[in-house]
Amino acid sequence: MPQYNPPLRDIQFVIHELLDAGKEFSKLPAYQDVDKDTMNQIIEEAGKFASEIAFPLNQVGDQEGCTRHDDGSVTTPSGFKQAYEQYVAGGWPALSCDPEYGGQGLPQLLNTVLYETLNSANQSWTMYPGLSHGAYECLHAHGTDDQKKTYLEKLVSGQWTGTMCLTEPHCGTDLGLLKTKAEPQADGTYAITGTKIFISSGDHDLSENIVHLVLARLPDSPIGSKGISLFAVPKFQIGSDGSVGKPNALSCGSLEHKMGIHGNATCVMNFDGAIGTLVGEPHKGLNAMFVMMNAARLGVGMQSLGLTEVAYQNSVAYAKERLQMRSLTGAKAPEKAADPIIVHPDVRRMLLTQRAYAEAGRAFSYWVALMIDIELNHPDESVRKETGEMVALLTPIIKAFLTDNAFVATNEGMQVFGGHGYIAEWGMEQYVRDARINMIYEGTNTIQSLDLLGRKVLGDMGKKLTKFGKIIEKFIEDEGVRKEMQEFIDPLSDIAVKVEKLTKEIGMKAMMNHEEVGAAAVPYLRVVGHLIYSYLFARMAKIALTNKSSNDPFYQAKLATARFYFDKLLPETAMLIRQARAGSKSLMAMPAEFF
Amino acid sequence: MPQYNPPLRDIQFVIHELLDAGKEFSKLPAYQDVDKDTMNQIIEEAGKFASEIAFPLNQVGDQEGCTRHDDGSVTTPSGFKQAYEQYVAGGWPALSCDPEYGGQGLPQLLNTVLYETLNSANQSWTMYPGLSHGAYECLHAHGTDDQKKTYLEKLVSGQWTGTMCLTEPHCGTDLGLLKTKAEPQADGTYAITGTKIFISSGDHDLSENIVHLVLARLPDSPIGSKGISLFAVPKFQIGSDGSVGKPNALSCGSLEHKMGIHGNATCVMNFDGAIGTLVGEPHKGLNAMFVMMNAARLGVGMQSLGLTEVAYQNSVAYAKERLQMRSLTGAKAPEKAADPIIVHPDVRRMLLTQRAYAEAGRAFSYWVALMIDIELNHPDESVRKETGEMVALLTPIIKAFLTDNAFVATNEGMQVFGGHGYIAEWGMEQYVRDARINMIYEGTNTIQSLDLLGRKVLGDMGKKLTKFGKIIEKFIEDEGVRKEMQEFIDPLSDIAVKVEKLTKEIGMKAMMNHEEVGAAAVPYLRVVGHLIYSYLFARMAKIALTNKSSNDPFYQAKLATARFYFDKLLPETAMLIRQARAGSKSLMAMPAEFF
């Protein structure tokens, strides 16, 4: 049976020691009261809810899956509803929401911590409140006053939940092809008709109503992605007093049978003239939806961080207990029949890979979450704008880099278990199956890499990237003189220079041939990801070195993990840079019919 | 619904054009009649059986799984038994078996082709005849005359099947720890008592008897792996006339719930004083079992080659049909709503990765299969010995390199499908789940890499590797002067030199510190794998260049794939060499209790 212990010390290290979040919050009027004690209390409670309530349902959810009944209703696995009730009773949905609608008004950073722990515990279950929070953010940013009045309090309390309905059978990435129609009604509402697929949390028994945010076309809409509008379409119609009325003309047509995340209801949703209201402006639905999609992309990163952490914990526990073979340098546990497998170098490689990706992924995603708090709350508009640009730059990297790494990490975790890793009861293969979807949904990782390289980097001639690079340059200048930091600063400078050169080279080639962007994007994103992880490991190593005299194993382990990262994981960039530079020629040479 | 078309042209290319197997067979008395027509006929018939009989049961097997009934009996998924009957009726189990026992006496190479196609079609089903063939090989090599008389004809005909029973709950890799006991009986038989786990095809309804090859300890056995003996233990006791008698004291205690290969019955097998006979010498069971394990390791390579090929075929078909976005260089199918996704560079990267791994994996494994035919049949003993050494050197690479690559390839295939790849009905996620076990069983890939570097390379001071290197050196010398081969010979020479240097460096370090072997082994195996693939792609490119004037798309595609390989996949060695050279320090630094 798997286990999960919220990594409180690691979380607190990032928040207090690496990011000094309390100091940052002191500059944000909305969060001036958010001190260290408050944060620690929430972190502990979040970990408690995750490990005690959500975690015990993870394997149950995988085994039972969801059920669609003859009347079209959907029920979630045993215990999911009760856990959600406790989540609502604890006020968790409200954590980072606007106090105007009943929210607790706490930072995004703390919500991010909450989601890391929830996803370690149970990704499928966490997708219900997760998508709901995305719907809250979208309506909060783009809803009309009426919509806000109707929906926000209910979403904040958790009484209602939300979904996002984008994909159709013939279009996922290319939303411009979508066909769902929205017919204006005399009363100002719209009748929505069409089929949506892959709708996570599309129907379930957790909440008394579900608001679907649906992309559809108005009758006079332009062709392509500029003719798409967004609508709020409730499962049950809503009275003027906010009461839940009769069913809307929509239903779950079927549940998908999937590789993983069995506990989440992935629905085909049929809209047959369902009544909804327009969110934001006509034909600008994608803009409004992007608020939700960006939140969702960070959310997917959190799913993968959570899985990385829990896979790591379980494989470490197994590697300390499982006895198999002797160490190549002589017995380490001579009193036992064999040594615990943690003595073997390659088992350690698998464990440290997971550990390094968990530590760097946490540092990276919490940092971006703090940036979002600054973006949304800093009194200085220019700071808000600049920070927002950084968030935009980094979002696709969070999504793609963390999810690719989590697939590596969960697979390493499973491999540590040998044959037992392949057996369901040990729980490790579920982490691999669950982690696999994260590389696909909310924009495939290829799409993320095109967003990064094409739009975010080359789209502004490298301006945002250069600004980001200055943060790293400053650190290199500040720390480069310290001898004990040399082992971290040298490879960091090296990869920083390489990213700059690579970016310029691709930019030049892309001007001649647009395919070069598509050919380089995937390895390019990973190279930039490694630049960020190098920077963060160097910063964490600095803190560990500062605390060296404490003899606290925590800091010694931090240093050891950083050294492992630079030794064994950063070298991936040697491959990636070659792949990116190899360009598009060998990809495009073969005529399609020869495949 | 997935599809599978046996890649006859590709198979024939490797056998006739790359390996010129007919010429090799003409030197082997046993196979002098095996000409091109005979081979092609068998290849075609194998492909037909695989695609028409085994393939349609692949998804059924995944969905239904196997069932253990209250009486302990096990039934396979719908259709498995009938398919097996047809397999037997077609004489397929006998293909490469000894004519003395009813075999067709055909080369191992053709059996390897058969298994590639069967595994593309249905890995779970193929494991029943596959393990049975391994049991045949083990008894053929090490059985007593009595055992041969009792078992071989029945295994060759397929009337009976076989298994290998090694793993116990507390030991997999470290078989020295095993506890199953063998008590000598007055009549010369042994009573076997113990529990074996992860027994593939452990019980089922396909054959009238099952012979289990079981590792167990005699009462006076030395501790560790030198005290293990091998026993043949039939499911039903066998009369002196060969008839099937009453049940032996063994049974399937339960079936494992696994990530994949659901159609194969993975059993916990309980032996409660089951009667068996000794195979080979007392305490030398591991030697005898290694015959079966080596065959099984090549077999696992074939499983992964099969999955790579079928994943490739399906993702190509999808990429040609699925319309999504426009090419970055302008619409390629302006008459359609969007371009087929095969126009996008990164989709092509995913397709070509699968294709390159399928082509090189096939070339590599067929080459080794041909070597086995030479090892077993060449009239010159020194040729047999030398070839056997090459097979020993290459076996762990076949197992680990092909299975790691197949996990990459099936994942790329799934990714091409986007969200649909995650849905069971499309079949792609099953390939990923099935492919995952191949990295674990028959010795994890870490064990393979230790076998390669520790035993096969450093164990004889690099002698076998140097001999193998001479084959490549000769090719480089012969072809290095041809200008049109330069683009392939240059990177091949480069990686050959690097492998030599890396081997020496690790060898030196290993003398000081044995952990260096464990730290370098995994990346080292992949580097050597890439050396082999570079060599084979260069050879295939040479043939394609020779046939350039034919304008046959087959050769053009071969060249394009080779170029892609050198451009995009070989650069992995830049990472691997750095990882291997980084050594053991950062792996071993952290005390176990800090994890």
Q: Report chain A residues whose CB lies below 8 A from the CB of B319.
A: 595
Q: Does A316 touch chain B (CB under 8 A)?
A: yes
Q: Is residue A563 part of a domain?
A: yes
**A246: closest CA of chain B, how far (Å):** 33
Q: How far apart are CA B538 and CA B494, in angstroms?
A: 13
What's the residue count for chain B? 595
Q: At what angle do helices A108-121 and A36-49 cross, to 10 degrees?
A: 20
pLDDT in tens, B134-191: 999 999 999 999 999 999 999 999 999 999 999 999 999 999 999 999 999 999 999 9
Q: Is residue B396 part of a domain?
A: no
Q: Is residue A39 part of a domain?
A: no
Picking from A198, A415, A445, the nearest residue to B444 by CB comes out as A415
Specify the DSSP class assigned to residue A335: T
- Give the CA dihedral B116, B117, B120, B123, nearest 10 degrees: -70
List beta partners, residue A508: none
pLDDT above 90 (res A291): no
Q: Does B553 touch chain A (CB under 8 A)?
A: yes
B59 touches B80 (CB < 8 A): no
**B576: closest CA of chain A, how far (Å):** 8
The token pair that represents A111 in the structure block: 């919500």
Residues 6+ apart with CB under 8 A from A497: none
Q: Does B474 touch chain A (CB under 8 A)?
A: no
Query: Would the CB atoms of B355 and A564 count as touching at under 8 Å?
Result: no
The token pair that represents B295 in the structure block: 């065959």
Probe site for chain A from B408, B568, B570 (most A CB atoms < 10 A): B568
Q: Report chain B residues whose CB lies below 8 A from the CB of A588.
A: 345, 348
Probe site for chain A from B322, B327, B526, B590 (most A CB atoms < 10 A): B590
Per DSSP bridges, beta strands A67-68 and A74-75 are antiparallel
Burial of A431 (0-12, 13-18, 19+ CB in 10 A): buried
Q: How far apart are CA B218 and CA B278, in angstroms?
A: 10
Size of interface A-B (CB pairs under 8 A): 270
Which chain B residue's Cα is nearest to A582?
B567
DSSP sequence for B167-178: -BTTBSS-GGG-
Task: Write a three-state SS string for B62-109.
Answer: HHHCCEECCCCCEECCCCHHHHHHHHHHCCHHHCCCCHHHCCCCCCHH
Q: Does B170 touch chain A (CB under 8 A)?
A: yes
- Give the CA dihedral B545, B546, B550, B554, nearest 10 degrees: -50
ipTM: 0.98
Picking from A328, A342, A585, the nearest residue to B595 by CB comes out as A342
Among B442, B487, B515, B572, the active-site one is: B442
Specify the DSSP class assigned to residue A250: E
CA-based nearest residue to B93, from B126, B60, B124: B126
Scanning B47-106 for CB atoms below 8 A from A yields: none
Q: Is residue A13 part of a domain?
A: no
Q: Report chain A residues whose CB lies below 8 A from the CB of B260.
A: 422
Task: Write a three-state SS string for B452-507.
Answer: HHHHHHHHHCCHHHHHHHHHHHHHHHHHCCCHHHHHHHHHHHHHHHHHHHHHHHHH
Mean pLDDT of chain A: 97
Please state, as a whole number, how many other Cβ atoms lie within 10 Å of the Cβ of residue B78: 12
pLDDT of residue B115: 98
Q: How far apart are CA A491 and CA A468, in angstroms?
A: 18
**B274: closest CA of chain A, how far (Å):** 25
Q: Does A517 touch chain B (CB under 8 A)?
A: yes
Q: Report chain A residues whose CB lies below 8 A from the CB of B575.
A: 571-575
Query: Would the CB atoms of A590 and B338 count as touching at under 8 Å?
Result: no
Number of domains in chain B: 1
The token pair that represents B544 in the structure block: 């394609």
Q: Is residue B583 part of a domain?
A: yes
A353 touches A312 (CB < 8 A): no
Q: Is residue B535 part of a domain?
A: yes
Q: Report chain A residues whose CB lies below 8 A from the CB of B414.
A: 436
Residues 6+ apart with CB under 8 A from A273: A183, A191, A192, A193, A249
Residues 6+ apart with CB under 8 A from B410: B307, B308, B311, B428, B431, B432, B434, B435
pTM (whole model) above 0.95? yes
pLDDT above 90 (res A401): yes
Residues 6+ apart with CB under 8 A from B277: B144, B146, B147, B188, B189, B190, B231, B232
Q: Report chain A residues whose CB lies below 8 A from the CB of B346.
A: 446, 449-450, 518-519, 521-522
Q: Does B487 touch chain A (CB under 8 A)?
A: no
**B433: closest CA of chain A, how far (Å):** 8
Confidence of residue A272 (pLDDT cuts 50, 70, 90): very high
**A590: closest CA of chain B, how far (Å):** 6
Q: Is residue B541 part of a domain?
A: yes
**CA angle (A272, A278, A281) in 5-degree steps:** 140
Q: How far apart are CA B356 and CA B78, in angstroms?
A: 35
Q: Report chain A residues whose CB lies below 8 A from the CB of B591.
A: 553
Scanning A232-261 for CB atoms below 8 A from B yields: 256-260
Please state, as a whole number, how many other Cβ atoms lie within 10 Å of the Cβ of residue B564: 25
Q: Which segments within B201-329 are labelled E, that is strand?
A: 209-216, 229-234, 236-238, 244-247, 250-255, 266-279
Q: Is B442 part of the annotated catalytic residue set?
A: yes
CA distances from A518 to A331, A446, A525 (A): 52, 9, 12
The token pair that represents B150 in the structure block: 């009792």
**B182: closest CA of chain A, how far (Å):** 21
What are the catalytic residues of A? 442
Q: How far apart are CA A333 and CA B288, in angstroms?
A: 31
The token pair that represents B363 in the structure block: 């070339």
DSSP sequence for A153-209: HHHHHTSEEEEEE--BTTBSS-GGG---EEEE-TTS-EEEEEEEEEEET-S-SSSSE
pLDDT above 90 (res A292): no
CA-based nearest residue to A328, from A316, A345, A342: A345
Q: Does A595 touch chain B (CB under 8 A)?
A: yes
Q: Which segments within B154-207 are labelled E, that is strand?
A: 160-165, 181-184, 190-200
Domain enclosing residue B507, as ranges: 459-590
B176 touches B168 (CB < 8 A): no
Q: Does A496 touch chain B (CB under 8 A)?
A: no
Query: Would the CB atoms of A422 and B258 count as touching at under 8 Å?
Result: yes
Q: Does B183 touch chain A (CB under 8 A)?
A: no
Q: How far apart are CA A82 and CA A88, in angstroms?
A: 10
Looking only at Cα atoms, what is the longest distance across chain B?
Answer: 83
Specify the DSSP class assigned to residue A76: P
- Buried/exposed A305-340: b ≥16 CB within 10 Å, e otherwise: bbbbbbbbbbbbbbbeebbbbbbbeeeeeeeeebbb
A397 touches A525 (CB < 8 A): yes
Q: Number of helices and strands (H, E) in chain A?
A: 20, 11
**A276: closest CA of chain B, how far (Å):** 27
Q: Is residue B11 part of a domain?
A: no
- Buried/exposed B463-497: b ≥16 CB within 10 Å, e otherwise: ebbeebbeebeebbeebeeeeebeebbebbbebbe
Residues of chain B with pLDDT under 70: none
pLDDT of residue B295: 85
pLDDT of residue B292: 81
Which chain A residue's Cα is nearest to B316?
A595
pLDDT of residue B291: 78
Please state, as a whole number, how many other Cβ atoms lie within 10 Å of the Cβ of residue B242: 11
Please state, as a whole number, how many other Cβ atoms lie within 10 Å of the Cβ of residue A584: 22
Q: How far apart are CA B487 and CA B522, in angstroms?
A: 28
pLDDT above 90 (res A562): yes
pLDDT of residue B293: 85
Query: Would the CB atoms of B440 and A421 count as touching at under 8 Å?
Result: yes
Helix segments in A250-344, DSSP class H: 285-321
Q: How far apart are CA B425 and CA A255, in angstroms?
A: 12
**B514: closest CA of chain A, how far (Å):** 6
Confidence of residue A294 (pLDDT cuts 50, 70, 90): confident
pLDDT in tens, A6-38: 999 999 999 999 999 999 999 999 999 999 999
Query: Would the CB atoms of B519 and A346 count as touching at under 8 Å?
Result: yes
Q: Which helix (H) or strand (E) holds A68?
A: strand A67-68
Q: Does A423 touch chain B (CB under 8 A)?
A: yes
Q: How far apart are CA B88 and CA A514, in angstroms?
A: 56
pLDDT of residue A295: 85
Q: Report chain A residues whose CB lies below 8 A from the CB of B424.
A: 256-259
pLDDT of residue B63: 98
Q: How far apart are CA B288 and CA B295, in angstroms?
A: 12
B191 touches B274 (CB < 8 A): yes
Residues 6+ apart with CB under 8 A from A571: B574, B575, B578, B579, B582
CA-based nearest residue to B360, from B397, B318, B388, B413: B397
Picking from B418, B424, B574, the nearest residue to A578 by CB comes out as B574
Query: Would the CB atoms of B575 and A579 count as touching at under 8 Å?
Result: no
CA distances from B568 to A21, A51, A418, B502 (A): 42, 43, 31, 22
pLDDT in tens, A536-560: 999 999 999 999 899 999 999 999 9
Q: What are phi and psi of A195, to 5 degrees?
A: -120, 130
Which chain A residue's Cα is nearest to B555?
A594
DSSP sequence for A125-145: HHHHHHHHHHHHHHHHHH--H
B409 touches B63 (CB < 8 A): no
Query: Would the CB atoms of A258 and B592 count as touching at under 8 Å?
Result: no
